[in-house]
């Protein structure tokens, strides 16, 4: 059937819209840590100490130091997009329908790989936000309590532009609208531990008509909710899956 592609038990229209969700697992082979693997970030530091508004109010220096270290690490020349990031950029460029890439990751590897229709639902590590005027800007250097907003020029109210636990992720209306009308939902490199992203597969099943696929190193918390699943390193299984979709 020319207008359709068959993958496993799924038949996908070649002009169907696709929504992709990625998590830290897609950046692991680029050299960035995940959160809940044995060597993950949350095995070395507590969420309550560095990734909540309360932590920032209690000890801003500790939070700034945590993100300054990760911001500098992300800018190491050795950290580059991998074959999985590049395959998703190719899918966006060559697929017949819309491809919306929703990432939980705060790194910049999807954009550097060429993805454009991209939502950073948890924000971006290389951006800063002023808590006085709301201005959001690129921020690649160290941030601290003296950092000045380039817009309102107030000192000491800058924070990293990421979503902490207890805060609302960005562009949720746009994401749910896309989930409700997509023909295919692909979840990549995420453990399915954190809501609302972990609920996206259920959103598609209950309110949409799309098929659902998990591409992950190992079965996630939500594995039973997916129509199809491929398990292995993202740099192998994601390019393979994209090649099956677009040939």
Question: Please, what is the minimum distance in Å from the beta carbon of residue 22 to ligand APR?
Answer: 8
At residue 152, the 3 state secondary structure works out as: coil
Whose Cβ is closer to ligand APR: residue 123's or residue 210's? 123
Binding region for ligand APR (CB under 6 A):
23-25, 28-29, 34-37, 40, 104, 122, 189-191, 193-194, 216-218, 220, 233-234
Max CA pair span of the chain: 62
Residue 206's CB is within 10 A of a number of other CB atoms, namely: 10
- Is 151 one of the catalytic residues? no
44 contact partners, CB below 8 Å, separation of at least 6: none
Question: Please, what is the minimum distance in Å from the beta carbon of residue 106 to ligand APR?
Answer: 7
Whose Cβ is closer to ligand APR: residue 17's or residue 35's? 35
68 burial (CB, 10 Å; 0-12 / 13-18 / 19+) is middle
Question: Please, what is the minimum distance in Å from the beta carbon of residue 241 to ligand APR?
Answer: 12
Whose Cβ is closer to ligand APR: residue 11's or residue 193's? 193
How far apart, in whole angstroms, are the C-alpha atoms of residue 185 and residue 179?
7
**With contact defined as beta carbons under 8 Å apart, do 147 and 67 qualify?**
no
Which residue is at the shortest CB distance from ligand APR? 25
Question: Please, what is the minimum distance in Å from the beta carbon of residue 11 to ligand APR?
Answer: 26
Question: Please, what is the minimum distance in Å from the beta carbon of residue 210 to ligand APR?
Answer: 20
Whose Cβ is closer to ligand APR: residue 36's or residue 112's? 36
- The string of DSSP letters for 21-69 reads EE-THHHHTTT---SSSTTSGGGTS-HHHHSSHHHHHH-HHHHHHHHHH
**With contact defined as beta carbons under 8 Å apart, do 53 and 166 qualify?**
yes
At residue 231, the 3 state secondary structure works out as: strand
Active-site residue, from 64, 110, 120, 122: 122
Whose Cβ is closer to ligand APR: residue 34's or residue 147's? 34
Q: Phi, psi (5° rounding) for residue 157?
A: -115, 15
| Catalytic residue annotation | 122
């Amino acid at each position: 059937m020319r207008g359709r592609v068959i993958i496993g038990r799924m038949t996908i229209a070649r002009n169907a819209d696709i929504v992709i969700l990625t998590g830290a697992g897609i950046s692991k082979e680029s050299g960035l840590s995940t959160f809940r693997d044995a060597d993950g970030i949350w095995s070395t530091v507590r969420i309550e100490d560095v990734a909540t508004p309360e932590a920032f109010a209690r000890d801003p220096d500790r939070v700034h130091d945590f993100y300054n270290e990760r911001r500098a690490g992300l800018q190491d020349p050795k950290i580059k997009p991998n074959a999985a990031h590049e395959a998703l950029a190719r899918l966006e460029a060559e697929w017949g329908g819309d491809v919306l890439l929703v990432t939980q990751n705060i790194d910049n590897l999807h954009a550097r790989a060429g993805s454009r229709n991209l939502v950073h639902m948890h924000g971006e590590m290389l951006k800063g936000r002023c808590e006085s005027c709301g201005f959001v800007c690129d921020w690649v250097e160290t941030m601290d309590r003296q950092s000045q907003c380039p817009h309102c020029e107030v000192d000491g109210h800058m924070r990293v532009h990421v979503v902490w636990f207890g805060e609302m992720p960005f562009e949720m209306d746009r994401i749910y609208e896309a989930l409700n009308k997509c023909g295919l939902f692909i979840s990549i490199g995420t453990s399915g531990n954190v809501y609302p992203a972990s609920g996206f597969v259920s959103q598609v099943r209950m309110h949409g008509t799309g098929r659902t696929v998990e591409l992950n190193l190992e079965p996630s918390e939500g594995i039973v909710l997916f129509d199809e699943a491929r398990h292995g390193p993202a740099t192998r299984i994601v390019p393979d899956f994209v090649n099956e979709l677009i040939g």
